[in-house]
Amino acid sequence: MKTVSSKTFLNSCIVLLSAIFISACGDSDSSSAADSSLESSSSVEGSSATEPYFSAKESSSSAVASAKDYCSTNFRYKYNHDESNKKFTIFEDHSYDECQHLNGNYVFSHIDEVLQHRRSYIFVGDTLVLIQSQEGDPDTMFTVLVGGSANNLLGDWAFTTCDYKAGSISCNNEPKSYTTHYVFEADSQFVYYTLADGSCIPPESLMPSDGTLDKDESYTDTYAMQEIYNSIISIKKGETHNIIIFPFSFFDQLGGGITIPSEVAISSQSKYAVTFTIGGQEFSATLGENTHRIQYYSDAQYEVDLDLASGSKVCHLHYFRDAKLTSETCKAENAPYFELDTHEETGVEYVDSYNVENIDEFKACLITLAQ
C-alpha cells in the first residue's frame, strides 16, 4: 500500500497542483476507482492525527480566509459528490499541444479534454482518508487529511504526512515548510497553500513557471561530472562496461556538492570548466555557454555541449532533448530524432520528445582518451 506524499504531488506529471486527485498520471475518464471495503476506525498510532505538524488548526481564521480568496483562483474544479456511497469525481479542463503519429503522418494538434479524477473516502474519527484504487493496479493510495468535521466531506481539509493502514493511522510529524489545503464546497473543490501562521503562499512559488530558464550555479559540480570521473576511473581499471553518462545530470546537484572520488585531483574549477587529474593523466572538461535547461510544467528542454580533452585529443558530447514540440519540429524529416509513446486510453501514438545526441560516440571516444 502507498500513501501520496507532498513530493509526489509537486513532481506530478501534469500541471495540476491537486495531488490527491492526480497522483497517478493518466487516471482519467477511462479508469474508475474500485469500491473500497475498508471500514472506518478510530484507532490512531503515535502522534494524534488531528494535530499534525503545521495543522490547519494552527492558522488564524482571518488569515486562512484571505489565503482562500487569494490562492484558490487558478485551482478551482467542479465535482460531483455521491455522499451515500462516499465517492466523488473531480472534473478538470486540460489543454495542451501534441505531435501525434497518425497513419504514418506527424500531425501537430491542439487537445482540449476534461479529465475525471475519481476517489472514494472514509472517516477515521474526525480524520478524512481519501482512497485511490485503479482497476488492474494492486496498490491502493491513501491520503490523510485533517481539519474538517467528522462524517462531512464539505469543509477545509489539510494535507498530512500521516499513513493509513488496516483501519489505523500513524503519524511521524515530519516537518513541512507549508501546508496544502483541500476545500470541498457544495459544487466545487479548490486548493490553497499556507505557512504555519496561515499566510498564503502563491502556487507559482511552489513550482517553476512554464519556460523557466535554469540558473544552476555550476554545471561542473553535478552528478554528470561525478559520472565522468567514475567512468574514467573504471576505464583505467579496464572496466569499460561501467561507463555511465547521463547528460541531463549536468543539471542535478546536491546542496552540499557532489562526492569527488579519492582518485580525482581537481586543479581548477568554474561554472563551465574543470581541470582534473586521474591516475597521473590530466583532463579538462569545458561546457559551451549554450548548455542550459528550460523547465516546463511537466518536463524540460535540455542542451549540453561538452569538450573533454587530454593532451591533443578531444571528445565532444552533444545532447539536445526537448519535450515540447512545435509545428516546426513536428515533421516527418525529424522522425529519426523522435521518442514515441502511446496514450493507454485512446491508443494514439504521440511524440514524447525530440532528441539529438551522440552519447555512444562520446563513450567510445572516452575509452580511447582515458586508456
**How confident is the model at residue 196, as a pLDDT?**
80
Please say if the pLDDT value at position 7 is more than 50.
Answer: no
Taking only the tens place, the pLDDT of each residue in 19-39 is 444 443 334 443 333 333 333
Phi, psi of 27 (to 5 degrees): -80, 85
Instruction: Give the residue numbers spanning the domain of 136.
Output: 2-206
Please count the structural domains in the chain.
2
- Alpha-carbon span 303 to 328, nearest angstrom: 18
Please say if the pLDDT value at position 234 is more than 90.
Answer: yes
Both 26 and 160 in one domain: the answer is yes
Both 60 and 198 in one domain: the answer is yes
Taking only the tens place, the pLDDT of each residue in 253-299 is 655 578 899 999 999 999 999 999 999 999 999 999 899 988 887 78
Both 141 and 165 in one domain: the answer is yes
Taking only the tens place, the pLDDT of each residue in 65-84 is 444 554 655 578 899 999 99
- Which pLDDT band holds residue 348 (cuts at 50, 70, 90)? very high
Both 78 and 19 in one domain: the answer is yes
**How confident is the model at residue 134, as a pLDDT?**
66
**How confident is the model at residue 168, as a pLDDT?**
87
**Which residues in 126-141 are b (16+ Cβ under 10 Å) and which e?**
ebbbbbbbbeeeeebb
Q: ∠ at Cα 164 (158, 166), nearest 5°? A: 155
The residue that leads in pLDDT, 52 or 354, is 354
Average pLDDT score over residue span 211-237: 85
Both 10 and 29 in one domain: the answer is yes
Q: Which of 183, 206, 229 is the last residue of a domain?
A: 206
Both 106 and 227 in one domain: the answer is no
Give a three-class secondary structure readout of 142-161: EEEEECCECCECCEEEEECC
Over the chain, what is the mean pLDDT?
78
**How confident is the model at residue 92, as a pLDDT?**
86
What is the value of pTM for the model shown? 0.64
Contact 176, 158 (CB under 8 A): no
Please say if the pLDDT value at position 207 is more than 80.
Answer: no
Taking CA atoms, 331 is separated from 32, 183, 188, 300, in Å, by 36, 44, 41, 20
Please say if the pLDDT value at position 136 is more than 70.
Answer: no
- Alpha-carbon span 301 to 233, nearest angstrom: 30
**How confident is the model at residue 241, as a pLDDT?**
87
Nearest to 68 by CA among 149, 189, 175, 208: 189
Q: Which of 184, 206, 228 is the last residue of a domain?
A: 206
Average pLDDT score over residue span 112-133: 91
- Alpha-carbon span 180 to 130, nearest angstrom: 15
Q: Which of 188, 206, 224 is the last residue of a domain?
A: 206
Both 132 and 149 in one domain: the answer is yes
Both 168 and 232 in one domain: the answer is no
Both 119 and 149 in one domain: the answer is yes
Both 202 and 216 in one domain: the answer is no
First and final C-alpha spacing in the chain: 49
Taking CA atoms, 355 is separated from 77, 148, 162, 324, 338, in Å, by 36, 48, 41, 11, 6
Both 202 and 226 in one domain: the answer is no
C-alpha cell at 250: 549536468
Taking only the tens place, the pLDDT of each residue in 162-201 is 999 888 899 887 777 888 888 998 888 888 888 888 788 7
Nearest to 177 by CA among 213, 201, 147: 201
- Which pLDDT band holds residue 95 (cuts at 50, 70, 90)? confident
**How confident is the model at residue 208, as a pLDDT?**
56
Taking CA atoms, 196 is separated from 58, 63, 258, 309, in Å, by 7, 11, 33, 52
Nearest to 21 by CA among 126, 70, 94, 98: 94
Both 249 and 333 in one domain: the answer is yes
